Chains A and B, each alone.
Chain A
Amino acid sequence: MSHTVLICDDAIFMRTMVGDILQQAGFEIVGEAETGVQAVEKYKQLRPDLVTMDIVMPDMGGIDAVREITKFDPGARVLMCSAMGQQALVVEAIQAGAKDFVVKPFQPSRVLEAVQRVLG
């Protein structure tokens, strides 16, 4: 069984890129979300092994979404996707329950490293 992934990002471009990286590495992309609200809904519905979460999203940001997801499932494995200059937000996300982070621009190897760490 390959690991299932839910990709949360408001940019199709980013979802496609992360999706391609993970899919090529054998992951199964089971869902995508464009907003924090969607991310929480889809998490509950799909129960993926891994969530990649953008920080800045409309309609509930990534950090609040992590908080909600962790409340629902304390074992949730969330990988934050951040940009340079967001250290405070990433720290907040980790405190909210995210397990690790990657920084844009994404390099496939770094994304996969982080994913492996999160999946432990």
Chain B
Amino acid sequence: MDSAQYAELFLTESREHVSAINHALLDLERGDGARGTDAIGAIFRSVHTIKGMSATMGYAPVAALAHELETLLDMMRRGTRTADATVMELLFTSADLLEHAIEGAVQGVPVSPEVGVMTARLKAEGKAGGDQRSSVAIQMPVDTGEWSAPAPDGAGLLVRVRLVEGTPLKGVRAFLVVQAARKLGEVAAVSPPLDELQADKFNHDFALRLHSDRSQGEVTTALRNAGDVAEVRIGEDADVATPAHTMEFSVAELAQGVAPVPAKAATVVPQQRSVRIDLRRLDTLMNLIGELVITRGRLNSLAATSEDPALVETVAQASRLVADLQDEIMTSRMVPVWQVFDRFPRLVRDAARSLDKQVEFTVEGKDVELDRSMLEEVGDPIVHLLRNAVDHGLETPQERTSKGKPATGRLLLSATRDRSAVAIRVEDDGRGIDRERVLRRARESGLVDVGKLELSDEELVRLIARAGFSTAERVTDLSGRGVGVDAVYSRVRALGGSVDIRSVKDEGTTVTLRLPLTLAIVRSLLARIGGETYALAMTHVRETVEFRPALLRTVQGREVLMLRDEVLPIVRLRTLVEFDGAPPRGLEQAIIVELSERRAALVVDALIGQQEIVVKQFDAVRDARTLFGGATILGDGAPALIIDVSSIL
């Protein structure tokens, strides 16, 4: 594994820990008693892990900050510091800076001076609290390099041991040496005393008295084997003042102590370690499977005209294998939504604080999985909705109390999954969207009839989803003016999803985003207009019917389709795509498309059939219809446009 891969692993894991820290901090801020203690323990562990990893990577600023943070947390754990407001703020800020330092370290950019300032501040806090680890360093005697430990009094063999300079945790090493001596006989005395040794309060040498029937050679070997031992000297002092034979000796000794490790051939394959795959590889795999799906389409259409049963059977088999392969790869790309959701509690807390609002934020369905690229794309829209809810949806505690609501507002983020889509819901119990205002604005802008007095949920969505249509009264740094649901709406639509809004005055607002499981491959219905082929995502197709004249009605001067008891507006694809070729021959087909509660009959010349298609983006062209959610490549290699159903409803 090269260092870049370690860096990636470090980054992924550190991010998870930072997220865990933020979560636990929120718990700590809310809870008390056992819950608080658990939270401190969790934060401590995460900080500790980050410290170990960053030290290993050589990311000194991260390691230093984590170390000081850990000191403070240790004090909290031992009860010598309490989680008061100052400490909480210190911890929250440190968590942010830790994240910043981690990102910076991996990208190789210099970290903000704030990191160093915070490290120093935490260090000072640690000292103020009388932390032992910091004080150890101060009390440590100066290392002279001389034999310095006095020979302990009493009988027994005098054994002097000098550790290698720079031995990590030398106190523990000395303890291990003493343990080794104890296995040879009885250790009568140790100098300095064992507890001082363990606390690192010695230079590199110490002495002990040993009663043992082993030979001096055996004793020397045994103690050396405790590790990091530069020299063992046995017998009463004659030349203790003389510095030892120098480091060359010890290094040579040390080298001797390390037996060459048998270099095993690569035949030993560990069985239980999972394989990590570079995300770019997964993307490439996804692209390749996309190409393969297209090729399969082509192969299937070729086989359809063949009369060779063996060929037909083989193609069918290959087709199934491709489908299985596609499933596997899709599954490997799925990640749980918590990977993105986990940063939201902190975000909501900060937003609520800056607006002096009280919010109880709940997240449900964290384990629901979504394609990685889709999840990345949908993060921003959700942030937007959450901020909107805190900023405009939820009222201030006073306002809520005066309305007879609990002072603390509720905000829920949930993810649920059905067969082919994931629904992400943001629900608040705030003031609801002001329909009066929306209606007034809409009338002023001529978007609705001046006589219109009421708005349905559908009309509401359509209005506020229009670019620039925002009713925010105040401009705050959370959700600035002009960026409203329209931004969310267009983003989600670009992802092949849909937005649904339910809002009741003074009861709250629920925004639901429905997203396909993946951006890349979609089951679609192919339809024809003249010689042109268009695709529609099956998620929006309810059914198809023959477009018989008997089903046609005219309502208020407009043509509608009567299907069973349902009246459906008619949309002619021919008109939408401005097709000016020959008129359709024979019976046309109607595709009943639906999106939440909006439906329409989309009339096409003919249906080609269902097919898995690979969604590809293309460059936006001036003046072209915003009717398309992308393009795909058909079996014959020609591109076909994908109709975005939400744009016609």
Which residues between 182 and 240 of chain B lie within 8 Å of chain A, taking CB atoms?
198-200, 225-227
Say yes or no for B85: interface residue by CB 8 A criterion: no
Main secondary structure of the interface of A (DSSP, over half): mixed
| Contact yes or no, B227 A13, CB < 8 A | no
Rounded to whole angstroms, the CA-CA distance of A102 and B172 in the bound complex is 11
Chain A's closest residue to B169 (CB) is A87
| Contact yes or no, A25 B263, CB < 8 A | yes
Rounded to whole angstroms, the CA-CA distance of A40 and B272 in the bound complex is 16
Q: Could you tell me how many residues of chain A have their Cβ less than 8 Å away from some Cβ of chain B?
A: 47
Q: In the complex, how many angstroms separate the beta carbon of B133 from the nearest chain A beta carbon?
A: 5
| Residues of chain A with a CB closer than 8 A to B540's CB | none
Q: Could you tell me how many residues of chain B have their Cβ less than 8 Å away from some Cβ of chain A?
A: 48
Chain B's closest residue to A83 (CB) is B52
| Contact yes or no, B258 A106, CB < 8 A | no
| Residues of chain B with a CB closer than 8 A to A117's CB | 225-227, 257
| Contact yes or no, B9 A13, CB < 8 A | yes
Rounded to whole angstroms, the CA-CA distance of A33 and B56 in the bound complex is 20
| Contact yes or no, B55 A83, CB < 8 A | yes
Contact of A116 among B13, B133, B175, B259 (CB under 8 A): B259
Say yes or no for B268: interface residue by CB 8 A criterion: yes
| Residues of chain A with a CB closer than 8 A to B225's CB | 117, 120
| Residues of chain A with a CB closer than 8 A to B71's CB | 85
Say yes or no for B370: interface residue by CB 8 A criterion: no
| Residues of chain B with a CB closer than 8 A to A100's CB | 176, 227
Contact of B171 among A23, A26, A87, A106 (CB under 8 A): A87
Q: In the complex, how many angstroms separate the beta carbon of B184 from the nearest chain A beta carbon?
A: 15
Contact of B49 among A2, A56, A116 (CB under 8 A): A56
| Contact yes or no, B176 A14, CB < 8 A | no
| Contact yes or no, A114 B227, CB < 8 A | yes
| Residues of chain B with a CB closer than 8 A to A23's CB | 270
Known contacts A87-B169, A90-B172, A106-B56; is-contact A16 B199 (Cβ 8 Å): no
Of the stretches B40-48, B315-323, B466-474, B551-559, the one at the interface is: B40-48
Which residues between 1 and 60 of chain B lie within 8 Å of chain A, taking CB atoms?
1, 6, 9-10, 13, 42, 44-45, 48-49, 51-53, 55-58
Chain A's closest residue to B70 (CB) is A85
| Residues of chain B with a CB closer than 8 A to A115's CB | 261
Q: In the complex, how many angstroms separate the beta carbon of A50 from the nearest chain B beta carbon?
A: 12
Known contacts A16-B9, A83-B55, A84-B169; is-contact A113 B270 (Cβ 8 Å): no
Which residues between 45 and 90 of chain A lie within 8 Å of chain B, taking CB atoms?
56-58, 82-88, 90
Known contacts A105-B55, A113-B257, A114-B227; is-contact A58 B45 (Cβ 8 Å): yes
Chain B's closest residue to A24 (CB) is B263
| Contact yes or no, A90 B1, CB < 8 A | no
| Residues of chain B with a CB closer than 8 A to A113's CB | 227, 254, 257-258
Rounded to whole angstroms, the CA-CA distance of A82 and B169 in the bound complex is 9
Q: In the complex, how many angstroms separate the beta carbon of A70 from the nearest chain B beta carbon?
A: 14
Known contacts A2-B262, A103-B169; is-contact A13 B13 (Cβ 8 Å): yes
| Contact yes or no, B55 A104, CB < 8 A | yes
Say yes or no for B67: interface residue by CB 8 A criterion: yes
| Contact yes or no, A88 B270, CB < 8 A | no
Say yes or no for A43: interface residue by CB 8 A criterion: no
Rounded to whole angstroms, the CA-CA distance of A94 and B226 in the bound complex is 12
| Residues of chain A with a CB closer than 8 A to B44's CB | 56
| Contact yes or no, B264 A2, CB < 8 A | yes
| Residues of chain A with a CB closer than 8 A to B242's CB | none
Q: In the complex, how many angstroms separate the beta carbon of A98 from the nearest chain B beta carbon?
A: 10
| Contact yes or no, B58 A91, CB < 8 A | no
Q: In the complex, how many angstroms separate the beta carbon of B497 from the nearest chain A beta carbon?
A: 32
| Residues of chain B with a CB closer than 8 A to A57's CB | 45
Q: In the complex, how many angstroms separate the beta carbon of B167 from the nearest chain A beta carbon?
A: 9
| Contact yes or no, B261 A91, CB < 8 A | no
Known contacts A87-B172, A94-B176, A105-B56; is-contact A26 B270 (Cβ 8 Å): no
Say yes or no for B451: interface residue by CB 8 A criterion: no
| Contact yes or no, B133 A85, CB < 8 A | yes
Contact of B56 among A17, A25, A29, A86 (CB under 8 A): A17
Chain A's closest residue to B268 (CB) is A28
Known contacts A17-B6, A31-B272; is-contact A84 B168 (Cβ 8 Å): yes
Rounded to whole angstroms, the CA-CA distance of A17 and B1 in the bound complex is 9
Which residues between 148 and 163 of chain B lie within 8 Å of chain A, taking CB atoms?
none
Contact of B45 among A10, A31, A84, A88 (CB under 8 A): A10
Q: In the complex, how many angstroms separate the beta carbon of B196 from the nearest chain A beta carbon?
A: 12
Sorted nearest first, the 3 A-B pairs with minimum C-beta distance are: A26-B264, A103-B168, A105-B56
Residues of B at the A interface (CB closer than 8 Å) are: 1, 6, 9-10, 13, 42, 44-45, 48-49, 51-53, 55-58, 67, 70-71, 133, 168-169, 171-172, 175-176, 179, 198-200, 225-227, 254, 257-259, 261-264, 268, 270-273, 276
Residues of A at the B interface (CB closer than 8 Å) are: 2, 10-14, 16-17, 19-20, 23, 25-32, 56-58, 82-88, 90-91, 94, 100-106, 109, 112-117, 120
A sample of 10 inter-chain contacts (CB < 8 A) reads A11-B13, A13-B53, A13-B56, A14-B56, A28-B268, A30-B270, A84-B55, A100-B227, A105-B57, A117-B225
